[in-house]
Amino acid sequence: MSSKNMNSSILITGGTGLIGAHTAKHLADEGFNVICFDFKPRQIDFIQNWDMTVVKGDVTKLEDLLRAVNEYSIKGIIHSAAVPIESVCRKDPAGSFEVNVNGTLNIAETSRLTDLRLIYISSQAVYGNLHSKDLAPIKEEEVPNQIFGVYASHKMMGEIIVKSYAQLYGLSVLTLRPTWVYGPGQIAVQNPISMLLEKAIKKQPFILEKGGDHPIAYTYIKDLAQAIFLSIKMKKTKNSVFNIDGGRIVTVREVAEAVKSIYPNAHIEVGSGYWPTISQQTPTRGPGDLTRARQDLGYEPQYSINEGVKEFAQYLARIYGCE
């Protein structure tokens, strides 16, 4: 599509966040008219040729959502607004509940009242510690024995809300479950990739006594944006819940090797075993099984860990003034 399709206006909550902004750019490039809805809009310095309509609004206020939907003739909603950091959710469980759960309820209600299609961005955190020992891929229908963390419980509640709206009111909704999203624009969330890159870029040593074998399934932000676009484009699907990630487990040692390939002189020492700090925040589990996403959406991750880390490094080097 070479021109804006004004009959395809999409509202993205959290529209200037990592997921929202990259998705907005991807959809705009595909011809959609995109409205970025955000409580605290930030300046976008991580996406070239950014030219989006940004509306300040609060997902915890139904009237804000309805006003935006009516004013901009919205035809679909992508709900990516969230408090996504487990440590923040633990410090303020009530406040994060308002955004993550009540905000999702307001999104579902807005979609019901205005008959809009909804794409809900959930998380593989809802799987708890499934397949923590064998690290086998997790299918969407598998149910965890236990939910770990405040954020995971919020995302599970959000899924229950949108599913119940689909069953009771016929709401058209797809739920995507990404995991450990990273890429340009991410500065607040500290994950192994951003931590290793920051030290390498600043020419500081990174020494980790334990953690080299710690397994994580990452999702590069541009892969997730592509998956969201496919979800919007696909009018009918066999399933309604989809795993989205990079397709495999990546160890911290592999992340270190990817960083070293960019910064050969970086001082990085990584011991064996699992990373204790991460284990306290997020349980180990297998990657998402991508069979549904491949068959229903045509999704296939395009970025290897090396490619994703390279693009992310370029952004962080600019942020830290070390280009």
Q: Give the mean model confidence (pLDDT) for residues 261-274.
A: 94
pLDDT at res. 2: 37
Q: Quick count: other Cβ atoms within 10 Å of Cβ 43? A: 7
Q: Give the mean model confidence (pLDDT) for residues 131-150.
A: 91
Query: Domain range holding 292?
Result: 5-181+221-247+287-303
The chain-wide mean pLDDT, for the chain, equals 93
Contact predicate 162/104, CB 8 Å: yes
Q: Quick count: other Cβ atoms within 10 Å of Cβ 228? A: 29
C-alpha distances (whole Å) from 12 to each of 95, 129, 218 are 21, 30, 23
In-domain check, residue 319: no
- Summarize pLDDT for 61-103 with one digit per residue, the tens: 999 999 999 999 999 999 999 998 888 999 999 999 999 999 9
In angstroms, the CA 255 to CA 194 distance is 10
In angstroms, the CA 66 to CA 98 distance is 18
In angstroms, the CA 242 to CA 107 distance is 19
**Pairs from 161-166 (Cβ < 8 Å, separation ≥ 24):** 161/101, 161/104, 161/105, 161/108, 162/104, 162/108, 162/118, 162/120, 163/240, 165/108, 165/109, 165/111, 165/112, 166/240
- Summarize pLDDT for 9-61 with one digit per residue, the tens: 999 999 999 999 999 999 999 999 999 999 999 999 899 889 999 999 999 99
- Domain total in the chain: 1
pLDDT at res. 188: 65
Residue 226 has pLDDT above 70, yes or no: yes
Backbone angles phi, psi at 92, to 5 degrees: -140, 70
CA-based torsion, 149, 152, 154, 157: positive or negative? negative
**Residue 151 one-letter amino acid:** Y
- Summarize pLDDT for 277-318 with one digit per residue, the tens: 887 778 899 999 999 999 999 999 999 999 999 999 999 999
pLDDT at res. 230: 97
CATH of the domain at 56: 3.40.50.720
pLDDT at res. 33: 95
In-domain check, residue 61: yes
In-domain check, residue 201: no
pLDDT at res. 175: 98
